[in-house]
Amino acid sequence: MRSAAGLIVASLVAAVVIAAVWFWTASPHAGALHAGLSAPATVAAAQAEALPATAAKAAATHDDVEVTASIADQAAQQSKAACANPDALGVSRVVEIDTTGGPGFGFEHFKQLDFLADKEVVLTFDDGPWPANTPSVLKTLADECTKAVFFPIGKHAGYHPEILRQVAAAGHTIGAHTWSHANLNAKKITEQQAKDEIEKGFSAVKLALGAAPSPFFRFPELQHRPSAVAYLGTRNVAIFSCDLDSFDFRANNPDQIVQTVMTKLDKLGKGIILMHDFQKHTAEALPTLLRRLKAGGYKVVQMKAKAPVQTLAEYDADLIKDMKLPVASTRPVSSVVQTVSQ
Ligand SMILES: [Zn+2]
């Protein structure tokens, strides 16, 4: 009897504590405490915003940018904690890259930094974000609780910022892949145009995300213009080639991609894998490919940057200026447009 009474008292105390915590966290004045708890809602809201809102975000203060980045980190931790697949491929280790001086990765072109152990792979995806294919790739990566590095095209980031923000919210690493996917090694491209392609690409990704991406860059078609490689060194941007190219963009079907990657991987034993989230066949091949990696004993390494890229202010400003008819309102469509008669 006494223990039952004690239980009732304990329950009442617990209820009061829960109510107090709810009142505190629900209060608009809760401040710092509340900020952490409301992070997921903030990420979701950011994903739902349209492009003009992004411009306002990009123009926000440095402090805001840092907060956005930490929200992405929290989302990453939550997705890791929430992995529901006990047989998932997962992430075996996370490496942090100090990009000072522009280190190069990927043995097809850069042979100095041999950081992967046997059976370790890095998943990389170029040319997105793109409707259907990028979300499909994200779903497959989430199902396997694993992480990749994405190299979006600046123009595509401008077309589909909400998809790129989903990539960030899922905790993947994001670099850049030029503004318009120009071959920077082509003779007709001037030094200035090569610089513009690189810088505008990073600024466009930053504008889409509302936060600066990682200082990771991949040359379109892996065409490394020597002067641009040197320039990236002065900008402290790491350059990504690859160890094995999936050639997914010319595959006739998903199976061909799986076979190409697994054959090369079984020969090399490890490596940075180049794929394209822009490609339909790649999105279709990915569930099978990740299962094959798991079955083959391969482990995924996620590469993260020690610090975000420092974009150049004039490129950030030019992009915002180029956006037609920017609007100040960031209200969601449901609060602006109401059906009053049907
Ligand atoms: Zn590309």
Q: Give the β-pairing of 93-97 and 216-217.
A: unpaired
Assess if residue 28 is contained within a domain: no
Q: How far is the CA of 216 from the centre of ligand 1 (A)?
A: 14
pLDDT tens digits for 229-264?
Answer: 999 999 999 999 999 999 999 999 999 999 999 999
pLDDT exceeds cutoff 70 at 5: no
The answer to the question of residue 21 being in a domain is no
**Is 283 within the bounds of a domain?**
yes
Helix, strand, coil fractions of the chain, as percent rounded to 5: 50, 10, 35
Question: What is the arithmetic mean of pLDDT over 73-78?
Answer: 54
Name the residue with higher pLDDT: 56 or 97.
97
What CATH number is given to the structural domain containing 166? 3.20.20.370
- Identify whether 205 is part of a domain: yes
- pLDDT value at 3 more than 80: no
Residues in a beta bridge with 126: 151, 276
330 exposed, middle or buried (CB, 10 Å; 0-12, 13-18, 19+)?
Answer: middle
Question: 126 alpha carbon to ligand 1 midpoint, in Å?
Answer: 5
Ranking 156-170, 200-214, 250-264, 319-333 by mean pLDDT, the lowest is 319-333
Residue 76, domain member (yes or no): yes
- Rounded distance from Cα 300 to ligand 1 centre (Å): 22
Measured in Å, residue 182 CA sits from the centre of ligand 1 at: 9
On average, the pLDDT of the chain sits at 82
Q: Is residue 90 within 8 Å of residue 83, measured between CB atoms?
A: yes
Pick from 110-124, 148-162, 194-208, 328-342: least confident: 328-342
Angle between helices 313-322 and 191-209 (to 10 degrees): 70
The reply to whether 54 falls in a domain is yes
Q: How far is the CA of 107 from the centre of ligand 1 (A)?
A: 18
Residues with CB under 5 Å of ion ligand 1 are 126-127, 220
